[in-house]
Structure 1
Amino acid sequence: MAQIKSLFATRLYHAPLAEFGQPIDAEELENSCLVIAEDDEAGQDWCEANGYPGYTSYASLTDLPWRFPIFADLVKVLDAHVAAFAEDLEFDLGEGKLVLEDLWINILPEGGMHASHIHPHSVISGTTYVAMPEGTSALKLEDPRSAMMMAAPTRRKGAREELQPFIYVKPAVGDVLLWESWLRHEVPMNMAEDERISVSFNYKWE
C-alpha cells in the first residue's frame, strides 16, 4: 500500500502574550510606541531617506528594553515564548541559549507595507501586535520551497494548508507570532485608515 507523509515541517508559533501568566499593559505599550515614534528624530530621518512608509525604530534605537521599562517587561515575556518554541523545534542548543538580538517598533499608516524578506544571521524571529485596526493587513508567509519548484503546477484552490504557496495569518492585539528566521514573510498593504502597530524582534544563539 502506498504511503505518503509530510517531511521537513515549517513551524509557526501563535499564542497570546499572556500565555505564561505575565500580562503586558496593552495601552501602555501602544502609547509608548507612539511617543517613541514622535520623539525619535533619527528614526524619522532614516524612514524619510529610505522611503520607508510610516515609522520603524529598527535603524535608530537599539536599546528599547534599557530605555523603557514596558519593553524590558515585554522581553521577559518573549523569552518564555521563544524558549517554548525552541523546545517544540527540538533545537539542541548545547551549553548555549537563545537571547534577544534586537527589538524594534513598526508603525504602518494606510497604504504602508513591508516587502517580502528574511532575517539573516538570526535563529528565531517574530512579532507581537499592538494595534490591529479593522481591515488592516495580515502577515503573509511564503513556502520556503518556492524557489525550487521550477515547473510545478499551481495548487488547487482550497488545497490543504500545508500545501499552499502562501499562508496569511491575522493575529489579534496581544498575540505573538514566532517563526524560524529563514522563513520569508511580508506585510501586505495596510488598507485600514488607522495605523497598524507592532513590535518585531530577533533571537540569536550564543
Structure 2
Amino acid sequence: MADIKSLFVTRLYHAKLSEHGPKIDAEELDASCITIAEDDEAGQIWCEENAYPGYTSYASLTDLPWRFPIFADLVKALDLHVAEFAKDLEFDLDGRELQLEDLWINILPEGGTHSSHLHPHSVISGTTYVAMPDGASALKLEDPRSARMMAAPARRKDAREDFRTFIYVKPQVGDVLLWESWLRHEVPMNMAEAERISVSFNYSWA
C-alpha cells in the first residue's frame, strides 16, 4: 500500500485573546482605536497620500503600548500567545525570545480592502480583532506554493481544507490569529456598513 503523508506544513494559530495575559476590555480597546484614528493627523495624511482605504497607524505611530495602558496590556497577552505558537512551530530560538517589532491599528470602512501581501524581515505576524460587524470581510490566506504550481489543475470545490489554494478565516471579536510572516494574506472587500477594526503586529527574533 502506498505511503502518502503531508510535508512542509503551514500552521495557523487561532485563539481567544483572553486565554493568556491580562484581561482586555473590548469596549475600551474599540474606543481607543477610534480616538487614536481621529487624533492621528500624520496617519490620516499618510492614508490619504497612499490611497489607503480607512485608517492605519502603521506609518505614523510606533509607540502605542507606551501611549495607552490598554495597548501595553495587549502586548503582554500577545507575547504569551506568540510564545505558545513558537513552541508549536518547534522553533529553536537558541535561548532568545521572539519580541514585538511593531503594532498598529487598522480601520477598514465599507468597501475597503487590503491587498495581498506578506511581512518581510519578521518571524510571526498576526491580528487581533476589535470590531467585526455583520458582513465584515474574512482573512484570506494563500497557499505559499501557488507560484510553483505552474501546470497544476485547479482543486475540486469540495477539496479538503489543507489542499485548497485559498483559505478564508472569519474571526470573531476578541480572537487572535497568528501565522508565519512569509504567508501571503489579504483582507477582501468589507461588505459591512460599519467599520472593521483590528490591531495587527509583527514579532522578530531578538
TM class by smaller structure? over 0.9
Quick one: distance in 2 between partners of 1:94 and 1:66?
A: 29
What are the equivalent positions in structure 2 for 1:43-82 lying under 5 Å apart?
A: 43-82=43-82
Aligned length: 206
Quick one: distance in 2 between partners of 1:197 and 1:111?
A: 14
C-alpha contact 2:21 2:80 (8 A) present in aligned 1: no
Secondary structure, in 3 states, of the residue corresponding to 2:3?
coil
1:109 aligned partner: 109
2:168 aligned partner: 168
2:186 aligned partner: 186
Letter in structure 2 aligned against 1:68: F
Quick one: distance in 2 between partners of 1:45 and 1:12?
A: 34
1:199 aligned partner: 199
Letter in structure 2 aligned against 1:60: S
Q: How far has the Cα of 1:21 moved from its partner?
A: 5.6
1:145 aligned partner: 145
Quick one: distance in 1 between partners of 2:109 and 2:95?
A: 43
Letter in structure 2 aligned against 1:45: I
1:42 aligned partner: 42
2:135 aligned partner: 135
Letter in structure 2 aligned against 1:56: T
Q: Tell me the C-alpha RMSD between the 2 structures.
A: 0.6
TM-score, normalisation: structure 1: 0.99
Secondary structure, in 3 states, of the residue corresponding to 2:32?
helix
1:33 aligned partner: 33
Letter in structure 2 aligned against 1:69: P
Secondary structure, in 3 states, of the residue corresponding to 1:15?
strand
Secondary structure, in 3 states, of the residue corresponding to 2:84?
helix
Quick one: distance in 1 between partners of 2:171 and 2:34?
A: 20
TM-score, normalisation: structure 2: 0.99
> Per-residue CA shift, 1:31-52, capped at 9, x if unaligned?
0000000000000000000000
Structure 1: 5+ residue stretches without partners: none
Secondary structure, in 3 states, of the residue corresponding to 2:52?
coil
Quick one: distance in 2 between partners of 1:96 and 1:136?
A: 38
C-alpha contact 2:129 2:172 (8 A) present in aligned 1: yes
Quick one: distance in 2 between partners of 1:204 and 1:81?
A: 14
Quick one: distance in 2 between partners of 1:2 and 1:49?
A: 57
Q: How far has the Cα of 1:95 moved from its partner?
A: 2.5
Q: How far has the Cα of 1:13 moved from its partner?
A: 0.1
2:90 aligned partner: 90
1:24 aligned partner: 24
Q: How far has the Cα of 1:23 moved from its partner?
A: 1.8
Structure 2: 5+ residue stretches without partners: none
Quick one: distance in 1 between partners of 2:169 and 2:158?
A: 16
